[in-house]
Chain A
């Protein structure tokens, strides 16, 4: 399956700052990548679909101006949490979709906003 890597694995930032999380597909060219958020003891929630060379598609209730997504190449998508607040503290995960519909996920990035 595809190998997906995220960076950083964890990040702590001050309230009001912006944080960028990278998602790389190491061995698979992905025209589409997916971003999820997971709060403690809850399941994954799809935030947005990242499309290479075009705008991301956001799920209902997800603020596109707060969660900026860029997918500039077939192997890299970035999620920037702008003006982060403590309620944005969460586990952010990306994925790519394989040729038979299965999803391959990154290791996740844990964001803590102080």
Chain B
């Protein structure tokens, strides 16, 4: 799997869009970008994934740069319940042995 780099932590304002960056400069052509989050003392939650095109679902939007070396997860209107560790992972489709890394501790501030 390609290595990903995320900031260790960031604060976001409640009600504003939260933009979570991720670098994956060594990503290969067949590797997807997956995003998960883990709220304290809970199992991780799948958010979104994509290969080349930008993706949007009811939780978030995923913007992948044209060269695929980085991506941004956008939470359109951050709420206090979005406080969690967010994991950006690059891996082959169907690869269950994804390495989660340390993630980005996002704190939404009132």
Contacts and interface: CB of A to CB of B under 8 A. Distances in A.
A101 B94 contact: yes
B44 interface: yes
Contact of B96 (A4, A34, A43, A107): A34
Given A43-B101, A43-B102, A100-B49, A32 B96 contact: yes
Interface stretch (B34-42, B60-68, B73-81): B34-42
B93 A104 contact: no
Interface in B61-110: 87, 91-98, 100-103
Interface residues of A, number: 24
Given A43-B100, A43-B103, A49-B96, A93 B43 contact: yes
Given A43-B102, A97-B94, A100-B49, A105 B34 contact: no
B48 to A, nearest CB: 9
A44 interface: yes
B46 A101 contact: no
Contacts of B42: 107-108
Contacts of B103: 43
Nearest to B46: A102
B54 to A, nearest CB: 16
A58 to B, nearest CB: 12
Given A44-B100, A97-B94, A98-B46, 15 more contacts: A1-B46, A6-B43, A32-B96, A43-B87, A43-B100, A46-B96, A97-B96, A100-B49, A101-B32, A101-B91, A102-B34, A103-B36, A106-B43, A107-B43, A108-B43
